[in-house]
Structure 1
Amino acid sequence: MHPSDSSPTRADDASVPDNTARLRDVMRHHMRGGRLVEARRICAVLTALDPQSAEAALTDGLLRQLHGDPQRAERGFARALTLRPDYAEAWANRSALRLMKGLPTKALADSAIALALAPALPPAHALRARLLYGQNEQEGAVAAAGRALLLGQNRPELPVLLVDGLRRLERMAEAETACRAFLKSAPDRADLWSLLGLILTDDHEAAAASGRAVLLDPAKVTPLVNRGNALLRLNQIPQATSAFRAALSVDPGHPEAAFGLASALLDGGHWRAAAVMLATERRRSDAANPSTLWRRIGEAAEAAGERMTGLRAFRQAAQRSPTDARHRDRLARAETAAGRHSRGETLFHTALALAPADSSLLTNSAIAMVDEGRVDEAVRRLRRALIVNPASYKAHSSLLFARQYQPGGSPAERRAEHRAWHDRHAAAPNPAIPSDPPGGVFPNDPAPERRLRIGLVSADLRRHPVGYFVAPFLATHDREQIAVIGYANQTAPHTPDPLTRELMGHAAGWRWIGDLDDAAAAAAIRADAIDILVDLSGHTADHRLPLFAHRPAPIQATWIGYPHSTGMSAIDLIIGGGLEMPETAADWFEERLVALPQGRFCYRPPDEAPPVGPPPALSNGGTITFGSFNSLAKLSVDTVALWARVMAAVPNSRLVLKARPLGDPVVRDRISRRFAAAGVDPQRLDLRGWSSHAALLAEYGEIDIALDPLPFSGGLTSCEALWMGVPMVAWPNDRPAGRQSAHFLSLLGLSDLVVDSADACVEAIAKLCGDLERLTALRAGLRARMRHSPLLDGPSFSRALETALREEWRRWRRTAST
């Protein structure tokens, strides 16, 4: 219409397009200015002028979307597509709307049609990049974002989608190149600096990039968390802690920030504070599942002696990741250690359902079975673990240890079984296990009479039978002749137990090697110039036998921790002697036997032991109470059968069994049924669970005679029984494990209590039960007898061991010189 016209006239055919075009321009001007009401009025006019206009329908949909009416907006887009099915812009806009409505699959389909119709439509590529990124289809997201950028689409999220997509595809070099290129043109993009911090493999550079992001946008949590993680990897714990705390000050509920702060606290040794941090409920996040941290907290609590706190932490780990067999395994072990064996058994069962071919899980569950006295079942499971993973030296060691509790087999067969461990796990050639020091020559000073450096390797330099037996030697060794260095196979505990502190005080040096692999530990030992390295674990839990295969010392020996050969050619000596390991038994072992006059044991009585009282039979009307505080693993079929014969030979006698697993009613029932099957009325059994060590020692006041198991006899348990005045009869066999109690009795001059058959054992015990006068005299005199025996003579034992070690050094020097 011409401006000079004084009245409206009907537009002719030529003027309609002109009017429509002008109206469209005005409408777009209003839309850009945010004047949506005005824009909608013009859109209505345009629709009236041309009801079949697909563009008008599209614009109506856009305006209704901007006005917050997604349902009517979708109807507008649908009308546009009905009017013009090949309208690419309409497909693209409906795709964006459907993404906004949470319909990504439909949105993705619409974007695909839009691009099929208009392959060079930039907004459609940008939208498709967002959609694919959100569905974790990173290859497509990267391609779409790159195409949109090439077509000139300048949306701020596109560089992020491209770079982070490459990062998630682990195409780090491309991601870094692209990110740096974007930052060159936009150096103030905090989000890109934050991404660069995630991409960079150099932690120093990553921390710097994240720090730049923090400076540009200090109110954003992600750069602070990224910086904290980089600093944590650099072991800059205080700085990492500060970064995570800053992140939480911005967003107190941020799960990744809380997770990072808990990690930093834990790495800094503040496991209690880490537990408090994790216990505070926050938003859940797949990127911050705290299960592993809860597990680490549990392990730290256990190391600090807070077993129940550790147990609660392991429960948290298992609850947060219920399908993770590893966390169920760790919880099962904690429950078992707390005496809740039936709970542990259930957890092991469910863990194995999740991971039936996990050799570590099979091994751990078998160890729990051993503790409960289910040795035969455990041996079968350990053999299965070795089938699953023939390279598992821990499963193989656990099998060897479990076999010590089983009757049968000859000395030659047992030696061959141990040698098989060596052949599979520690034999040369193995490039990972050098059998000689670098250069083939040890740098140790060969002077025969100089002060020797002796290294002791064990996980049990603590309140443990090994720790108790080693303590007298460390306390009385000649510091001018030898320097003892302890290599504890644990991480440095913040509060070592009292016995560990005592042992450390007697040692010339101490290293925690729990965090070192075998090669690193061997290098540390070699750097310490150890002359004789002594294993104190054998095939028991947490041993470091593979370390010895690296040959870090000129002479290597095994002592005290395991009642048999290691089977290793790299270990030269086994320290034994006495009735337990006599010189006549030298061919039982792969190592050369060094027989000490009083054997390998030296006992130091516990300070908390109460005075010895009279035999309880004197106040029980002559009723005899037998007892065994040994591990349930030692209740072999032969043991139960022998003890059933003893109880039959001593009418009305009772048997007290004490072991931690007996606190569990399921375990008690199993043990009762085993004795019932052997003919013992369960009413004659008194099954007791855990108590403190002082309380355990006091309970010996209720025992007249200790029963010694077979084929694995008592060790420290027998020493404690004897110290508390409780005698025993021992029947030694053809393995060191079955000769320990007999060895102790021989050192006390009580060889008449050492027998050579089952019949003789039953007869000797029955005879002792019938002679309360002798039983009373024995009980009253046992403690004095022990005090004056070689078993408690620490100085004499130390001199004998030092003499033997000195002679081995001279022997090595003579051999090395030739």
Structure 2
Amino acid sequence: MRAPLSVQDAVALWRQNRLLEAESLLRAIIQANPTDPDALHALGVILLSRGDVAAAVPLLQRVVAAVPDAAEPLSNLGEALRLLGRLADARAVLERAVALDGARAASWNNLGGVLVELRLYGRGIAALRRALQLQPRLAEAQANLGVALRGMGNVAGAIDAFRAAIALAPHHVGASSGLLYALHFSDRHTPQQVLEEHRAWWQRTAASLDRPPPPRRRRGGRVRIGYVSPDFRDHVVGRHFACILPRHDRRRFEVFCYHAAPTADALTDALATAAEHWHDISAMDDESAAALVREHGIDLLVDMAQQTRGSRLLVFARRPAPVQAAHFGYPATSGLATMDWRVGDPILDPPGSESACFEKIVRLDRCWWCFEPEPIDLPTRGGKEILFGTLNHPAKCSPTILRLWSKILLAVPGSRLVMLGPDEPADARYQLDILGEAGVDEQRIILVPRMAQQAYMRQWGQIDIGLDPYPYNGHTTTLDALWMGTPVVSLSGASSVSRGGASILRAVGLERLATSRPEDYVRVAIELATDRDALSALHGSLRDRVARSPLVDCTGYTRSLERAWLQAVAG
């Protein structure tokens, strides 16, 4: 007679990718013995692996309560708490795990990942390097190291780390997306080189996927649009989308939203209320999510993340809709041969831009961005020294632009530069060293930490002149700066992401601040700093310029986007 099925049998099924059978067996074991820690742990890990994080956490907590000195359940619980955004709790749990078993590489990797998300980059890197000492071929630790280095602004180092992770695990989703996204920040790569990297990713990851023939476009009725995003929350993408979703013409469009993250906040709730159809796909695998889209008969499926964290591009790789497009994430290629369109505008994407992307480009008749400004008073200015500033992510501050900022600072006596820095000052050494090598005293650099939205807006109001980064311009940050009366000098390049500043400045009639040569960028910034009357006039007039511009006309933007969608659906 065969012995009763055991947890080991369930684990064997899991390793054969027979997840549903493994889960069913474990639930039967737990029903017979609700306190079996091995079964609870195995079920928690299976649920975690397939994205059902909320269900995994209580199971893992029961295991930890039953066997508090076991490092592996603590490590898995810490990872689950991280995915739910409970970073402080995750850190405490993972620090217990490494204290109990300092030789377990996975625990050090998970701890490093949490520290990186807490923006404690130096500490995170130390934990990740410990993981790699213990297990040199741990691709996940290499990928997390890439995220940490990018967070500190060391994009070249991040690219090397992501490549190392891909060499170990060619299909590692996070490493692949991390590499492709990081390349947009690099001042060492041309648009064609970036495109080739995306093409290599497509061939390696998505080209060989089984996909049924694309569904046919429905005839008659409203156009069914499906929006897919992990960022339906208080995030730049979520805030942008909140300007559009309530204004969609429901007589012509039926809107489906596919929420691809296990976390939610007040903006998530507001978007869910505004959508006609809301579906949480965070716990679905790509095949199941694609099947759901097909079942809904979506005419146009829109990706809102591209290669950023939480992206579900492999749903789009399965071609669940007859027409697929990318928008909202960032203005560049998705890397998918199954993505038909991406949205651009005439400045971001002049004629010929299609050569740097997989998709056809449907251009709005206005700027790519719109926003609903913060209700915040303008500041009172009057300081004697000129404050230049950038409140963009450190990854955007490339060596090329740091050296140009050095030239500006050295040419304007007494001026200082405000920069968004890591939470721990020691983690800013990469940028500070480049500025120092160019002759800028560290005392002229003011590092400010990431801050709440209102404080961030007020910080922009204290900066006299914004300096746009390069090659990945500030986008939402430029909108915020202009709203707070701070002019921004921008440098355009060969890529679409490097022309965001020019597009936004054109929308408010400040094309003269948009430059295309490094020497002009430096000259315009210096001239603006030395003509105090002209600068004061800009400070006083910018908010009115923005208020009268298309940038705040969310209804007009939505109508323009809808025309683009109809053009895409028509082919």
Settle same-fold status: TM greater than 0.5: yes
Residue in structure 1 matched with residue 235 of structure 2 by the alignment: 464
Q: How does 1:187-586 map to 2 (within 5 A)?
A: 196=4, 198=6, 233-234=26-27, 244=34, 289-299=72-82, 303=84, 305-427=85-207, 430=208, 432-434=209-211, 436-437=213-214, 442=215, 444-447=217-220, 450-491=221-262, 493=263, 496-586=264-354
Structure 2 counterpart of 1:640, from 402, 408, 416: 402
Matched residue type, 1:233? L
Residue in structure 1 matched with residue 485 of structure 2 by the alignment: 725
Structure 2 counterpart of 1:744, from 492, 498, 504: 504
Asked if the contact 2:75/2:93 (under 8 Å) is kept, the reply is no
Matched residue type, 2:205? H
Asked if the contact 1:539/1:562 (under 8 Å) is kept, the reply is no
Matched residue type, 1:639? I
Residues 422 and 259 of structure 1: CA distance in aligned 2, closer, same or farther (over 3 Å)? closer
CA distance in 2, matches of 1:296, 1:389: 20
Residues 747 and 386 of structure 1: CA distance in aligned 2, closer, same or farther (over 3 Å)? same
Asked if the contact 2:231/2:237 (under 8 Å) is kept, the reply is yes
Structure 1 counterpart of 2:528, from 764, 768, 781: 768
Asked if the contact 2:37/2:63 (under 8 Å) is kept, the reply is no
Q: How does 1:29-48 map to 2 (within 5 A)?
A: none
Partner-residue secondary structure (3-state), 2:269: helix
Alignment length (residue pairs): 558
Deviations 1:644-691 (A, max 9, x none): 0110111110111123x2x21321344322211111010111112232
Deviations 1:172-223 (A, max 9, x none): xxxxx155xxxxxxxxxxxxxxxx36389799xxxxxxxxxxxxxxxxxxxx
Q: CA deviation at 1:505?
A: 1.6
Residues 559 and 233 of structure 1: CA distance in aligned 2, closer, same or farther (over 3 Å)? same
Bigger shift: residues 538-547 or 645-654: 538-547
Does the alignment pair 1:671 with 2:427? no
Q: Bigger relative contact order, structure 1 or 2, given CA contacts below 8 A and separation 6+? A: 2
Residues 538 and 200 of structure 1: CA distance in aligned 2, closer, same or farther (over 3 Å)? closer
Partner-residue secondary structure (3-state), 2:515: coil
Deviations 1:575-602 (A, max 9, x none): 1113122344232222111011113322
Matched residue type, 2:6? L
CA distance in 2, matches of 1:601, 1:489: 23
Q: Structure 2: any 5+ residue segments left out of the alignment?
A: 12-21
CA distance in 2, matches of 1:264, 1:591: 36
Matched residue type, 1:520? S
Q: CA deviation at 1:310?
A: 2.6
What TM-score, normalized by structure 2, do the two folds share?
0.89
Deviations 1:260-296 (A, max 9, x none): 99999998958897787667586757xx952245225
Residues 578 and 791 of structure 1: CA distance in aligned 2, closer, same or farther (over 3 Å)? farther
CA distance in 2, matches of 1:803, 1:353: 55
Residue in structure 2 matched with residue 614 of structure 1 by the alignment: 380
CA distance in 2, matches of 1:750, 1:611: 22
Q: CA deviation at 1:774?
A: 2.3
Partner-residue secondary structure (3-state), 2:6: helix
Residues 277 and 592 of structure 1: CA distance in aligned 2, closer, same or farther (over 3 Å)? closer
Deviations 1:591-647 (A, max 9, x none): 11101111332222235xx311133xx2x2x31011111111112111111000110
Residue in structure 2 matched with residue 784 of structure 1 by the alignment: 544
CA distance in 2, matches of 1:298, 1:411: 38
Does the alignment pair 1:591 with 2:393? no
Partner-residue secondary structure (3-state), 2:491: coil
CA distance in 2, matches of 1:584, 1:735: 11
CA distance in 2, matches of 1:705, 1:782: 12
CA distance in 1, matches of 2:23, 2:504: 58
Asked if the contact 2:153/2:397 (under 8 Å) is kept, the reply is yes
Deviations 1:31-84 (A, max 9, x none): xxxxxxxxxxxxxxxxxxxxxxxxxxxxxxxxxxxxxxxxxxxxxxxxxxxxxx
Matched residue type, 2:285? D
Matched residue type, 2:299? D
CA distance in 2, matches of 1:417, 1:505: 39
CA distance in 2, matches of 1:297, 1:467: 23
Structure 1 counterpart of 2:461, from 679, 701, 704: 701
Residues 445 and 767 of structure 1: CA distance in aligned 2, closer, same or farther (over 3 Å)? same
Bigger shift: residues 308-317 or 751-760: 308-317
In angstroms, what is the RMSD of aligned CA positions? 3.1
Asked if the contact 1:332/1:344 (under 8 Å) is kept, the reply is yes
Q: CA deviation at 1:396?
A: 2.6
Asked if the contact 1:707/1:728 (under 8 Å) is kept, the reply is yes
Residues 639 and 435 of structure 1: CA distance in aligned 2, closer, same or farther (over 3 Å)? farther
Residues 570 and 272 of structure 1: CA distance in aligned 2, closer, same or farther (over 3 Å)? closer
Q: CA deviation at 1:556?
A: 0.6
Asked if the contact 1:289/1:320 (under 8 Å) is kept, the reply is no
Matched residue type, 2:206? A
CA distance in 1, matches of 2:301, 2:23: 40
Deviations 1:288-314 (A, max 9, x none): 952245225523xx52x5431232223
Q: CA deviation at 1:325?
A: 2.1
CA distance in 2, matches of 1:231, 1:420: 39
Residues 197 and 602 of structure 1: CA distance in aligned 2, closer, same or farther (over 3 Å)? same
Q: CA deviation at 1:423?
A: 2.3
Matched residue type, 1:655? L
Matched residue type, 1:503? L
CA distance in 1, matches of 2:47, 2:147: 33
Partner-residue secondary structure (3-state), 1:315: helix
Bigger shift: residues 737-746 or 309-318: 309-318
Asked if the contact 2:75/2:110 (under 8 Å) is kept, the reply is no
CA distance in 2, matches of 1:365, 1:707: 29
Larger Rg: 1
Q: How does 1:799-818 map to 2 (within 5 A)?
A: 799-811=559-571
CA distance in 2, matches of 1:369, 1:668: 11
Does the alignment pair 1:626 with 2:388? yes
CA distance in 1, matches of 2:322, 2:508: 36
Greater share of helix: 1
CA distance in 2, matches of 1:500, 1:701: 29
What TM-score, normalized by structure 1, do the two folds share?
0.64
Residues 755 and 551 of structure 1: CA distance in aligned 2, closer, same or farther (over 3 Å)? same
Q: CA deviation at 1:320?
A: 4.0
